Amino acid sequence: MEDKSHQEHKKYAADIDSISKAQARIKPYVHITPVLSSETLNSIAGKSLFFKCECFQKGGAFKFRGASNAIFSLDDEQAAKGVVTHSSGNHAAALALAAKLRGIPSYIVIPKNAPKCKVENVKRYRGQVIWSEANMQSREETANKVLHETGATLVHPYNDGRIISGQGTLSLEFLDQVPQLDTLVVPISGGGLISGVAIGAKSINPAIRVLAAEPKGADDAAQSKASGRIITLARTNTIADGLRASLGDLTWPVVRDLVDGIITVEDKEIVEAMRYCYEILKVAIEPSGAIGLAAVLSDSFKRNPDFKDARNIGIVLSGGNVDLGVLWESLNNR
């Protein structure tokens, strides 16, 4: 039976060992992010909510956990040639920052529709920006071109065991800070964060419930779960610019097996959650980062009998990189 359990873990691109090793590896570089709570929001939700503030992570998002794990996993020879990635923003900035800390070059392929503040973060951390068209094919082709020219190592934003393990460190830290958590609500896009979190959290507490939060306008994960295979959307339509990616072949098995449900929310619910974060929690959050709160406050969560017994809910506020103008427009045009 022990062998079976061991084999189970090995089914995925990360396991509790790789996550624990990642935690030790990145410890000198990452912030231990605070957990906030609010009686007002508890009253609104009818639950005890604990907010893991990854918006305060270096680079402004959880992405630095995975990026620093990937960068500091490289041997010296690999590292010297630098790293390359394509990303709409937070992974890009995180990788540039981790590369800067290791003193190696980073080549960042950014789609033309990326938020301005996220591009500025890449430049601030001395990443070399290479523009692509705003579709996945152009992003990947451009990244491959850079890769062949430089010999740099590709660090995919989510479909990479080192990234999944790095993001998983969040769950070890969170359960250490709030051991009584019975439910985690985690944004889902490509699935790197929730894969690492689900593997990590369920290794510590197999009974914990792990739920994904996804925009209705980019609900590929919900459709994938429903149909039992990876569904890719031809187009997405959501204010949550960080949640438009599709699941990868390394993240899908974890989402399929270990994620207990996917809550889809409307953009207007995301904006309302952003406002709560701003006005009540006093935390500056991007739309993608606020979706976990939006999910918990949504009717589809509240009315789901499966979630009735959730009492102590951990919500990952995953990122804070928002253009102030975009925030203001979205709050005003609800």
CB of 213 to its own copies, least distance (A): 19
Question: Does 60 help bind its own copies (rule: CB under 8 A)?
Answer: yes
Measured from the CB atom, is 38 or 153 closer to its own copies?
A: 38
**3-class state of residue 149 by DSSP:** helix
CB of 154 to its own copies, least distance (A): 26
Query: Distance (Å, rounded) from C-alpha 203 to C-alpha 2?
Result: 14
* CB 184, CB 314: distance < 8 Å: yes
* Among the residue ranges 141-149, 238-246, 279-287, 294-302, the one whose residues contact its own copies (CB under 8 A): 279-287
Question: Does 42 help bind its own copies (rule: CB under 8 A)?
Answer: no
Question: Does 56 help bind its own copies (rule: CB under 8 A)?
Answer: yes
CB of 133 to its own copies, least distance (A): 27
Question: Does 39 help bind its own copies (rule: CB under 8 A)?
Answer: yes
Residues near 194 by Cβ (< 8 Å), separated by ≥ 6?
186, 187, 188, 210, 212, 251, 254, 255, 259
Dihedral through CA 156, CA 161, CA 162, CA 164, nearest 10?
A: 90
Measured from the CB atom, is 80 or 326 closer to its own copies?
A: 326
Of positions 13, 36, 71, 114, contacts its own copies by CB under 8 A: 36
Q: Return the residue matching tokens 């007002």.
A: 40
Measured from the CB atom, is 231 or 331 closer to its own copies?
A: 331
Pattern 93-132, its own copies, x by CB under 8 A: ------------------------x------x--------
Look up residue 209 and give its amino acid. Answer: R
**Structure tokens, 58:** 């270096």
52 is catalytic: no
Question: Does 245 help bind its own copies (rule: CB under 8 A)?
Answer: no
Q: Return the residue matching tokens 């889809």.
A: 264
Measured from the CB atom, is 53 or 263 closer to its own copies?
A: 53
Measured from the CB atom, is 258 or 326 closer to its own copies?
A: 326
Measured CA to CA in angstroms, residue 204 lies from 18, 19, 51, 138 at distances of 14, 12, 19, 40
The DSSP element (H or E) to which 79 belongs, if any, is helix 76-80
Q: CB 130: neighbour CB atoms within 10 A?
A: 15
Residues near 174 by Cβ (< 8 Å), separated by ≥ 6?
35, 50, 52, 181, 184, 201, 314, 316
225 is catalytic: no
CB of 317 to its own copies, least distance (A): 9
Handedness of CA 79, 82, 84, 87 (dihedral sign): positive
Of positions 80, 154, 231, 331, contacts its own copies by CB under 8 A: 331
Question: Does 178 help bind its own copies (rule: CB under 8 A)?
Answer: no
C-alpha 213, offset from chain centre: 11
Of positions 22, 45, 55, 104, contacts its own copies by CB under 8 A: 55
Of positions 10, 151, 237, 328, contacts its own copies by CB under 8 A: 328
Residue 209: CA atoms inside 13 Å, Cβ hemisphere, count? Answer: 18
- Residues known to be catalytic: 63, 88
User: Which residues are at the interface with its own copies (CB under 8 A)?
Assistant: 31, 34, 36-37, 39-40, 53, 55-56, 58, 60, 117, 124, 275, 278-279, 281-285, 320, 324, 328, 331
